Amino acid sequence: MEGGFDVNLYEWMTGLRWKWAERRFGVWGVRDYYTLLEQMASEGAEITFGYVLMILAAALLATAGLLIDSPAVIIGAMCVAPFLSPSRAVCIGAVFRDRRLLLGGLFKQVFGLLLVGTATAYVITVLLHDTVPGIEVTKEILLRSMPTTRDVVLTILIAIGAGAAASLALTADPRIVAKPWGQIIDAMIGVEIGISLLPPASVIGIGLVLGRLDISQNAFWLIIVNILGLNFLGSILMLALRGVRLRYLVLEKTIRQTVEDTLAANLATLPKEITANVVLLSDTAADVHVTVYTEADLPLPASMAQTVTSEIATKTGYRSKVAMETIPCRAHSTLQPEEAVARRVLWHR
């Protein structure tokens, strides 16, 4: 009690409100949802050759659109820019407290924008400036380099809105995360993210060639502000408000590991493969579907599902419904162990 104020009661009531919010607004009923988020973030933090090529194409379009003062061409560049995946890596990595994902996604953004996007714009502008007359600062360039206070505020709001939309696409209707048509929504959100990032990156390169360091400097700071608004004020905040937490990812993994350990301890012959799909129904219950691949048609013990359910309750405290099936299979491989692992990763992706 401090000055008539019960600190313990306040902390209890605050925790109760957060618990209620997570139960009300949390993401439930989606198979392997948190594991899928981690996989998306892991892929989004990787710099691939395709990623570099897409930025090259987008930067080419953006630079041409800025120099000919064409909003339509700039919009086309935004449609090509592949900045959604690294943005998601940053926000999911932050929520899951995974430094590798957070820093990997942030580096991928900066690498794509400044080392690829800006460099491409610089090279294109150098080539055009020496061979084509009329290469000069346009209105579209000034919009990203000499913005008014109104332009700055609205640009930040666009970045925050794009980041929030990227997170809402994962949480508002979370079942689309595992659906192919969810990529259509991702494409539209990617355009919004491209609005905030790609044109200023191209303006930096153009300003350097035209000898306008003020333009390049202002565009650089605009990118920094947009990255902060996009990743931290938009995406991370929205995921946190929607109840995405590290403990649910750990819970999914713990349930899978418990299933594998229990089967290994109770079966005379180890299965070829075990697949456990986890659906978190609430913060106290889960639905688990287990598929066991065996070389022979060996039935599971009648009490195996009950045993697994008991082990899950012991390890996690969760109530669960466990359904198990066996699939007989024959397999032969000449792949090296590391090749088999790589192939399995690609298959699950």
* DSSP of 69-85: T-HHHHHHHHHH---HH
Residue 4 lies in a domain: no
- Best-predicted range by mean pLDDT among 69-83, 210-224, 232-246? 210-224
pLDDT tens sequence across 82-136: 888 888 899 899 999 999 999 999 999 999 999 999 999 999 999 998 888 888 8
Q: Does one domain contain both 52 and 94? A: yes
The overall average pLDDT reported for the chain is 80
Identify the residue whose tokens are 């408000």. Answer: 241
Q: Which two tokens stand for residue 265?
A: 């301890």
Residue 14 lies in a domain: no
Residue 256 lies in a domain: yes
Q: Does one domain contain both 52 and 180? A: yes
Q: Determine the pLDDT at residue 29.
A: 85
Q: Does one domain contain both 263 and 168? A: no
Q: Does one domain contain both 206 and 272? A: no
Q: Does one domain contain both 64 and 85? A: yes
Domain boundary among 244, 262, 277: 244
Alpha helices in 267-303 (DSSP H): none
Residue 264 lies in a domain: yes
Phi, then psi, of 196 in degrees rounded to 5: -80, -25
Q: Residue 205 pLDDT > 50, yes or no?
A: yes
* DSSP of 99-149: HHHHHHHHHHHHIIIIIIIIHHHHHHHHHHHHHSTT----HHHHHHHS--H
Q: Does one domain contain both 33 and 126? A: yes
Domain count, the chain: 2
Q: Which two tokens stand for residue 202?
A: 């191209």
Q: Does one domain contain both 263 and 209? A: no
Distance CA 135, CA 338 (A): 53
Q: Does one domain contain both 232 and 129? A: yes
- Give yes or no for a contact between 196 and 226, defined as CB atoms under 8 angstroms apart: yes
Look at 16-20, 38-42, 316-320, 326-330 and tell me which has the smallest mean pLDDT.
Answer: 16-20
Domain hosting 85: range is: 27-244
Identify the residue whose tokens are 């035209």. Answer: 210
Q: Determine the pLDDT at residue 13.
A: 39
- More confident of the two residues 200 and 335: 200
Q: Determine the pLDDT at residue 63.
A: 92
* DSSP of 54-69: HHHHHHHHHHHHHHTT
Residue 278 lies in a domain: yes
